[in-house]
């Protein structure tokens, strides 16, 4: 009888131990390390979608089998021939021009299993691959795409290749559209004082671009690198980041900012909005390579201007043409002009519109730089540009069209 009791007790203890182990495994699942995952073949893959009339090209995939739902970062690559040996960036570094690329990285990092890639980015990449001349484009061309995935505790893995057929269009590579990110929200308004207006081609009417950070790495045709914006933000104003004007498909989620300070508000988690609880001046820095951004208070002295002008050799330094402010609730500090055309190279500066030239910005850098008080004339080459200028940071950018 005593032995039966001991056996029963041991069995009960064993069951308890197995139960405890099972519970422990449930709360601490084992991280699996899959070798690959599935990129879905798009329904449009053979349709030959027209890149020139499309805003985005969409992809979806399944999460790798890590054994449990894991926070994962995904990236996309597109390839000329299904190989991924020479990137566009690597080819550009070869000054002889003899190295030809066969793939490029799409300028975004994704947290969900879908991506809306700007059609302009794919068009630029195809031009980098083939170097077509104007009038020599094929009616259709095929490219390949694959996704990568990485989560904490694993190495990066790659999906299968999928094949996509599109109708390309000609892009002069030296004039290829620059890939930027834009802010839209409560404090960025259109000419009717309406916020949250994300309009295609609506620069200055609800969208404000972040500009490349001077001195930091930035690749204009992929948008990979560091962007910045400095300006005034009212308390409680919410905004978000979008990549394609007129589209909400590609956004940067605020949750990628690490250790956000107390003055950053994030109540609207589901919509990826961010804001500030204290009014004031802030610098937003966006790292598009790592899909992170920071918001820091600007501590410098700020002056508000009613107008900003851009005189130069092109108009014999006559102060007559004011450049437009990016519309914003509260103070405005970012300015722009579209289709600024120079028949020949000219020196220009930014100034506050008075005849004394006491306040002016210039620098010897082109196409972008930091204008400083009394700096050199900006040496602008002949061409047509969209021009952006920030009167707090002094950052300017001449984007050739």
367 cis-preceded (ω within 30 degrees of 0): yes
**pLDDT confidence tier of residue 245, bands split at 50, 70 and 90:** confident
Q: Please provide the DSSP assignment of 340-395 as one string.
A: EEESS-EEE-EE-S-SS--SEEE-S-SSEEE-EET-PPEEEPSEEEEEEEETTT-E
Predicted local distance difference test score (pLDDT) of residue 11: 42
pLDDT, one tens digit per residue, over 255-288 is 444 455 666 665 544 556 888 889 999 999 988 8
Q: How far apart are CA 241 and CA 386, in angstroms?
A: 21
- The answer to whether 279 and 234 have CB atoms below 8 angstroms apart is yes
pLDDT of residue 382 exceeding 70: yes
pLDDT, one tens digit per residue, over 37-82 is 999 999 999 999 999 999 889 999 999 999 999 989 899 999 999 9
pLDDT, one tens digit per residue, over 321-371 is 899 999 998 899 999 999 999 999 999 999 998 878 899 999 989 988 999
Task: Record the pTM.
Answer: 0.64
How high does pLDDT run on average in the chain? Answer: 84
**pLDDT confidence tier of residue 17, bands split at 50, 70 and 90:** very low
**pLDDT confidence tier of residue 8, bands split at 50, 70 and 90:** very low
Answer positive or negative: Cα dihedral of 71, 145, 248, 113. negative
pLDDT of residue 143 exceeding 90: yes
Of 185, 200, 186, 394, the closest CA to residue 300 belongs to: 394
Of 294, 290, 270, the closest CA to residue 210 belongs to: 294
Predicted local distance difference test score (pLDDT) of residue 254: 57
Q: How far apart are CA 114 and CA 23, in angstroms?
A: 33
Of 11, 157, 195, 130, the closest CA to residue 70 belongs to: 157
pLDDT of residue 23 exceeding 60: no
Tokens encoding 273: 């909005």
Give the residue-averaged pLDDT of 221-246.
Answer: 87
Predicted local distance difference test score (pLDDT) of residue 266: 54
Q: Max alpha carbon distance in the chain (Å)? A: 112
pLDDT, one tens digit per residue, over 173-202 is 765 667 788 999 988 998 888 999 988 766
């Amino acid at each position: 009888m005593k032995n039966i009791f001991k056996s029963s007790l041991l069995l009960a203890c064993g069951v308890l131990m197995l139960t405890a182990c099972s519970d422990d495994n449930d709360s601490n699942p084992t991280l699996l390390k899959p070798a690959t995952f599935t990129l879905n073949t798009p329904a449009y893959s053979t349709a030959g979608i027209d890149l020139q009339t499309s805003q985005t090209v969409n992809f979806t995939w399944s999460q790798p089998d890590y054994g449990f739902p894991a926070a994962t970062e995904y990236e996309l690559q597109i390839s000329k021939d299904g190989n991924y040996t020479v990137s566009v960036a690597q080819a550009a570094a070869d000054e002889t021009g003899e190295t030809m690329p066969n793939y490029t990285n799409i300028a975004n990092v994704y947290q969900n299993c879908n991506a809306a890639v700007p059609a302009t980015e794919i068009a630029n990449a195809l031009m980098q691959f083939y170097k077509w001349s104007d009038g020599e484009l094929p009616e259709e061309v095929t490219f390949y795409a694959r996704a990568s995935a990485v989560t904490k505790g694993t190495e990066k893995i790659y999906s299968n290749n999928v094949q996509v057929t599109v109708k390309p269009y000609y892009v002069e590579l030296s004039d290829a559209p620059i890939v930027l990110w834009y802010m839209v929200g409560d404090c960025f308004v259109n000419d009717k004082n309406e916020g949250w207006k994300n309009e295609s081609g609506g620069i200055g009417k609800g969208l404000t671009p972040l500009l490349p950070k001077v001195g930091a790495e930035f690749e204009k045709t992929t948008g990979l690198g560091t962007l910045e914006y400095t300006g005034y933000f009212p308390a409680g104003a919410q905004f978000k980041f979008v990549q394609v004007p007129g589209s909400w498909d590609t956004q940067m989620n605020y949750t990628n900012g690490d250790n956000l300070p107390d003055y950053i508000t994030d109540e609207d988690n589901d919509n990826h909005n961010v804001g500030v609880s204290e009014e004031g001046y802030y610098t937003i820095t966006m790292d598009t390579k790592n899909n992170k951004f920071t918001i820091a208070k600007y501590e410098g002295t700020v002056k508000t201007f009613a107008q900003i002008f851009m005189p130069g050799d092109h108009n014999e330094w006559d102060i007559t043409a004011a450049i437009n402010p990016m519309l914003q609730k509260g103070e405005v500090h970012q300015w722009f002009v579209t289709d600024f055309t120079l028949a020949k190279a000219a020196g220009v500066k930014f100034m506050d519109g008075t005849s004394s030239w006491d306040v002016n910005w210039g620098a010897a850098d082109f196409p972008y730089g930091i204008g400083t008080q009394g700096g050199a004339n900006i040496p602008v080459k002949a061409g047509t540009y969209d021009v952006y200028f920030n009167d707090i940071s002094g950052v300017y950018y001449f984007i050739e069209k």
